Chains A and B, each alone.
Chain A
Amino acid sequence: MTIHHPAEHTLHQLVDGDLGGDSAATEAHVSRCPQCAAEVQRIERFRRTVAAASRAMVPPPTVWTAVQSRIAMGAPAPPPSSAKSEGAATTTGARRRRSARQAWWRPLIAASVVVAVGAGVLYVANQDRRSAATNAAGSSAVPNAVVRDAMLPGIALTDADDAIVERLRTAIARERNVMPADVAAEVEAQLGALTTAMVVTQAALAGDPNNVQLEAMVDRTRRQREEYVNSMLALLADY
C-alpha cells in the first residue's frame, strides 16, 4: 500500500501553527509516520536555532561618528519644543553668532569624516587578523586589546608633549572669552578623536609591524591631525 505523506510545506505550516482546522489529519499522520515525525523534529530544531540567534550586535564606533557628522552637515535638528517661543524672534546678533558657529563647523565636520574613514580603514586592516584569531581560538575568541580599543569610543589620551597640539590648546584658551564654550569643547573632542585614531593605529602597527596598510594609516592619521591643527590655528587667527 502506498503511503501518502503530507507535502513538505504542510509540515512547515504544522510547525508554525498555520494549518488551522486542517491540522488534525496531518498531526495524526505525523504521529504514526517516523519519517514525517523526524522531519517535523528537524524543522523544530532549526527554528530553535533561529530563535536563539542574538538580536544585538555592537556596530563599529565609526557609525556613530558618521551619524554625528551627517547630522551636523545638514540633517535638521528637531525643533526645540521648549525653546520655540524663546527663539521665535531671532535677533541679528543671534544670527551672527550662528553664522560664526557654522563657520567653525566646517573643519570640525571634516575631521569627523576623517576619523570615520581612518578608523574604518584600521578596522578593515585588522579584519583578517581578527578572523584568523577567531577561527583559531574558537568560541572563546576575544578581540585583542588593540582591536578592542580601536572598536571602543572614548579612549582618553594626553598630548602634553606634543608641541603643535599645545599651540592649538593655547590658542583656544586665549580665545575662550569670544569662542562659544561648546565650540571649544568640540575642537577638543575632535582633536582627541584624531589623536585616538593616530595612537591606536600606531599601537596596531606595533603589534603587526609588517602590515603595510597600517603603516600607511599611521602616516595618514598623523598627517590628518597636523592638518586639522593647522587649519584650526589658521581659523583662530582669522576669528
Chain B
Amino acid sequence: MYSHRLPVVAASDDTSGRKADDIDALVRRAGAGDHGAFASLYQLLSPRVYALSLRLCGDTHDAAEVTQDAFVRVWQRLATFRHESDFGTWVHRIAVNAALERFRSDRRRQAHVTSAPMLELVSFAGSGERLDQRLDLEQALGRLPQLARTVFVLREIEGYPYAEISALLNMTEVALRAQVYRTRKSLMQMLEHTS
C-alpha cells in the first residue's frame, strides 16, 4: 500500500552526496514497484525539480502541480528508464516537458511575481551570496514574460545546450541567443534598479 512518509532532510543543490550506485539501486527497486524506494527518490530529486518548476512557472501553485505531474510521470515511466544515463537528468527532462506542456495548454497564463515565502526553504549551503540578492533575482525572473523566462532558466540556470532548447521550444539557436542576451539585459537592469 502506498503512504510513505518522507524523511525530513535539507534541500541540497544536487545529489552528489549520494553515490550513483545508491541511486541506481533505488531506481531499480522503485522500478520493481517498491514505493519506499520511490519515496526516497522523490526526497532526493524533488528539491531540484521544484526549483526548476518554480522558476519556469513563476508561481508556487503551478510549480507544485508541475512537480506533481513530473513525479507521477516518473513513476509511470520507470520501466522505460535506461540505466546507462543519469536518472536525475532523466527526471529533469520529464519536469521540463511537463512545464512546457502546461504552458502550451494554458496560453492565458500571465507572468506572476514568484512567491517569496517559498524561498524561505531554499538551501543556501555552499554559497556566500546574500539572501536579498537571491530574492532580487527570483523576483526579477518572476517578472519576465513566459518565453523569456523559460529560455533564460533552461539556458542560464540549468545549463541546457542551445540545441536542446531549440528542439524543445521550436526556435532557432540564433533566436534563442538573442533572447538570452535580451533577457540578461532586462534582468541586469532590474537587479541594478533594486540594489
Does A54 belong to the interface (CB within 8 Å)? yes
In the bound complex, what is the Cα–Cα distance between A75 and B78 (angstroms)?
Answer: 12
Q: Which of A9, A67, A83, A180 contacts B42 (CB 8 A)?
A: A67
Residues 47 to 106 of chain A near chain B (Cβ within 8 Å):
47, 49-50, 52-64, 66-68, 70-72, 75-83, 101
Given contacts A78-B32, A153-B5, contact A9 B178 (CB under 8 A): yes
Does B167 belong to the interface (CB within 8 Å)? no
Q: Mark B147-178, 1 if CB is under 8 A from A, else 0.
A: 00000000011000000000000000000011
In the bound complex, what is the Cα–Cα distance between A46 and B3 (angstroms)?
Answer: 44
Partner-binding segment picked from A21-29, A164-172, A185-193, A200-208: A185-193
* Cβ–Cβ contact A64 & B42, under 8 A: yes
* Cβ–Cβ contact B188 & A43, under 8 A: yes
* Cβ–Cβ contact B71 & A56, under 8 A: no
Partner-binding segment picked from A134-142, A215-223, A231-239: A134-142
* Cβ–Cβ contact B120 & A82, under 8 A: no
* Cβ–Cβ contact A55 & B72, under 8 A: no
Chain B residues near A134 (CB-CB < 8 A): 116-117, 119-120
5 of the cross-chain contacts (CB-CB < 8 Å) are A47-B156, A56-B122, A57-B50, A76-B76, A189-B5
Does A182 belong to the interface (CB within 8 Å)? yes
Residues 16 to 32 of chain B near chain A (Cβ within 8 Å):
30-32
Shortest Cβ distance from B15 into A: residue: A56
In the bound complex, what is the Cα–Cα distance between A135 and B115 (angstroms)?
Answer: 12
Chain A residues near B121 (CB-CB < 8 A): 57-58, 143, 151
In the bound complex, what is the Cα–Cα distance between A34 and B78 (angstroms)?
Answer: 55
* Cβ–Cβ contact A67 & B181, under 8 A: no
* Cβ–Cβ contact A49 & B133, under 8 A: yes
* Cβ–Cβ contact A64 & B8, under 8 A: no
Complex A-B, nearest 5 residue pairs according to Cβ-Cβ distance, in ascending order = A139-B131, A182-B1, A56-B47, A59-B50, A56-B11
Q: What distance in Å separates the Cβ of B156 from its nearest Cβ neighbour in chain A? A: 5
Chain A count of residues within 8 A CB distance of the other chain = 65
* Cβ–Cβ contact B71 & A67, under 8 A: yes
Q: Mark B37-75, 1 if CB is under 8 A from A, else 0.
A: 001001000111111101000001001100110011001
In the bound complex, what is the Cα–Cα distance between A54 and B7 (angstroms)?
Answer: 21
Does B123 belong to the interface (CB within 8 Å)? yes
Shortest Cβ distance from A141 into B: residue: B120
Q: What distance in Å separates the Cβ of B140 from its nearest Cβ neighbour in chain A? A: 10
Q: Which of A62, A68, A139 has the most CB of B within 10 A?
A: A68
* Cβ–Cβ contact B51 & A50, under 8 A: no
Chain A residues near B120 (CB-CB < 8 A): 130, 134, 141-143
Residues 123 to 165 of chain A near chain B (Cβ within 8 Å):
126-127, 130-131, 134-135, 138-139, 141-143, 151-154
In the bound complex, what is the Cα–Cα distance between A175 and B122 (angstroms)?
Answer: 45
Given contacts A8-B185, A43-B188, A57-B122, contact A75 B47 (CB under 8 A): no
Chain A residues near B187 (CB-CB < 8 A): 46
In the bound complex, what is the Cα–Cα distance between A87 and B160 (angstroms)?
Answer: 43
Does B129 belong to the interface (CB within 8 Å)? yes
Q: Mark B96-133, 1 if CB is under 8 A from A, else 0.
A: 00000000000000000001111111111001011111
